[in-house]
Amino acid sequence: MEQNKSIEAFTPWKDWKFHGVIILVCILCELIGAIPIDITENIRVTLLPLLYAMVITTALYLFKKFPLVDKKHEGSASFMMNVTCLILMAKLGINTGNAIDSIAEASLPVIFSNFGDALTCLIALPLGLLLGMDREVIGLTFGCSREGGIAVCEGRYGSKGSEFRGVMGMYIVGTVFGTIVIGLLTSICSSMGIFNLSSIAIAAGCGSASMSSAGIGTLALMHPESEDMISAMATASNLISTAIAIYAAIFIALPLAEWEFKLLYPILSKSGREERKKAKAAAKSGEKN
């Protein structure tokens, strides 16, 4: 529904200046090009034009004196994001079709890594509790910044709960930092030279659409000869995950996170410890009476 709204709100001739700014930003970023940074001898991080483009537009938006990128262009922007994502999907579909044989190979690892994703909250949830988070931590740690995770969380806890704030927080972190983190991780892993290129590509597809495109971009730049295989594996991983991650979240990750929260909240979280003390004191005074 929201998507239909943004389609009707689209007025190309009215917002042409805004689109003009965006294309200028894109041209500028493409002219700068990819910047490889060698952290150590065999760990190379590649900054991509897509990253500068995101940073520049965010900065232009936050810079209030620049009226050409403003809240009133929100409709146009989300519509154009939608349209360009569709073009990207068509391009990725063609890459996938061209490398259909290697995708069949990817299906087994992708299914298992999705059910294993549920286990990541074993590490991240205690950390969140130690940092003083409340129930937000459930939404924050049960999945890896996926569009489907938001829907699952909304269905289970409603959109007003703190769990939902957590899942939205994760999505924002994923969009802003996830692209950088995935780019870093893929380039570090592939320059280490221990892992198969296809394994890294499968892992690059683990997050949201923008995260996996950052991963594909970085890997394809480092191994241009296998661009088709990389994007096929990562896209397959992303597509298969989209279908499976929802079930993995409902049946494994969320119940596990709930159970872990109940177990660890009184021990690790400051407010949880205080609550436990109060409850004990209340129980004691109850005994006395």
Residues 216-245 that bind other proteins (CB under 8 A): 216-217, 220-221, 227, 231, 235, 237, 239
CA distance 160 to 49: 37
CA distance 206 to 110: 9
Residues 154-193 that bind other proteins (CB under 8 A): 165-166, 168-170, 172-179, 181-182, 185, 189
Q: Which one of 114-122, 257-265, 269-277, 279-287 is the stretch in contact with other proteins (CB under 8 A)?
A: 114-122
When asked if residue 149 is in the footprint of other proteins (CB under 8 A), the reply is no
CA distance 227 to 247: 31
When asked if residue 48 is in the footprint of other proteins (CB under 8 A), the reply is yes
When asked if residue 271 is in the footprint of other proteins (CB under 8 A), the reply is no
Residues 56-85 that bind other proteins (CB under 8 A): 56-62, 69, 71, 73-74, 77-85
Q: Which residues, other chains included, contact 138 with Cβ-Cβ below 8 Å and sequence gap of 6+?
A: 125, 163, 166, 254, 257, 258, 261
CB of residue 46 to other proteins, shortest distance in Å: 11
CB of residue 28 to other proteins, shortest distance in Å: 9
Q: Which is nearer to other proteins, 18 or 288 (CB)?
A: 18
Options 14, 36, 38, 105; binder of other proteins; rule CB under 8 A: 105
Options 43, 55, 256, 264; binder of other proteins; rule CB under 8 A: 55
Options 37, 39, 90, 267; binder of other proteins; rule CB under 8 A: 90
When asked if residue 54 is in the footprint of other proteins (CB under 8 A), the reply is yes
Options 35, 37, 39, 86; binder of other proteins; rule CB under 8 A: 86
How many Cβ atoms sit within 10 Å of the Cβ of residue 199? 16
When asked if residue 141 is in the footprint of other proteins (CB under 8 A), the reply is yes
What value, to the nearest 5°, has the Cα angle with vertex 106 and ends 102 and 107?
125
- From residue 6 to residue 35, what is the string marking binding to other proteins with x (rule CB under 8 A)? -xx-x-x------x--xx-xxx-xxx-x--
Options 2, 40, 65, 87; binder of other proteins; rule CB under 8 A: 87
How many Cβ atoms sit within 10 Å of the Cβ of residue 158? 10
CA distances 94 to 32, 87, 97, 250, 258, Å, are 28, 11, 5, 32, 41
Surface-to-core class of residue 213, CB atoms within 10 Å of its CB (0-12 exposed, 13-18 middle, 19+ buried)? buried
Options 156, 161, 191, 199; binder of other proteins; rule CB under 8 A: 199
Name the CA dihedral angle for 223, 228, 232, 235, rounded to a multiple of 10 degrees. Answer: 70
Of all helices (H) and strands (E), which one includes residue 47? strand 44-47
Of all helices (H) and strands (E), which one includes residue 135? none
Q: Which is nearer to other proteins, 112 or 251 (CB)?
A: 112
